Amino acid sequence: MAKLFIDGETGTTGLGIRSRLAALPEIELITLSESARKDTAARLDAMRRSDLTVLCLPDEAAREAVSMAAGLGGAAPKLLDASTAHRVAQGWIFGFPELSAGQAAAIVSAGRVTNPGCYATGAIALLRPLVDSGLLPPGHDVTINAVSGYSGGGKAMIATHEADGGPAFELYALGLRHKHVPEIMRYGGLTRRPIFVPSVGHFRQGMLVSMPLFIDRLNGAPSAYEVCELFREFYDGALRIRVAPGVNAETLDPEALNGTDRLEIFVCAHGAHIVLVARLDNLGKGASGAALQNIALMLGLPDPLLAQKEFSHA
């Protein structure tokens, strides 16, 4: 049995991981009593006993936990960090196995993996195939719009939306310095900072990430069907990513994938205009579901989706 410790297991992501562990019966979960969860000695002992420690902590606390683990020397466990703290840090592998042909293998052999952000997962899923193919120059002007359920916004946002008369819709991070932008640039392959405009709707979970482009300004001026085929080829064989057939979708429900760990890509076009959309559960492939995928890879366990019929598709 592989031993797993979740440092911060009572947060949204930690609870989501725990609920998914039934899909990995090869794992023994190390838990701490409520009184011991903030006890440094108890946490350090749990790390020492684990094969893999998952950090579901605020950024600064995650950095402190990494330093604690490093102090264990040869007894240190592998680390999977679900915070923003190490997403572009040297020595960490980005936990998006579908990023490139060798990314899953890199995660398997890594001692330190950082889980992607939810918005970044959708944006990178759209950007990377275009940039790698040469259709989208790395310095191209890019605008990314996104809407998420309020569960990804932290305790204050959750409390606001769950109170009577909570807001129906909000734009936020209009200082244009959202914390996911650095990883979107790094792993999306961009050299020019994109305009990223996130928003939150009055629903608990679910996400749409959209990217409008002038298709005739892409290299080679491809057709919308050629762009769709590019995505199909790039994600061929990926269990969690599906490219919708054809082009165009009149409406898209951000909650349609709630409770799953999948991501869907849509190509919508008319004339010179194209809009690419990624749909996912911000708590699934955008957080806990991605963590479970990385946990299985890091511990050398079978992919948990293989046993779940709901995820099988051509």
Query: Please, which residues have CB within 8 angstroms of residue 83's CB and are 6 or more apart in sequence?
Result: 55, 56, 57, 58, 59, 61, 62
What is the spatial distance between Cα 247 and Cα 270, in angstroms, rounded to a whole number? 9
What is the spatial distance between Cα 63 and Cα 133, in angstroms, rounded to a whole number? 36
Helix pair 59-70, 40-49: axis angle to 10 deg: 60
Residue 187, token pair as written in the block? 């792993």
Active-site residue, selected from the candidate residues 56, 118, 228, 268: 118
Confirm whether 118 is a catalytic residue: yes
What is the spatial distance between Cα 208 and Cα 213, in angstroms, rounded to a whole number? 16
Integer angstrom CA distances of residue 80 from 118, 231, 253: 16, 28, 31
> Phi, psi at residue 169, to the nearest 5°?
-165, 145
Helix pair 289-298, 12-20: axis angle to 10 deg: 60
Any idea which residues carry the catalytic annotation?
118
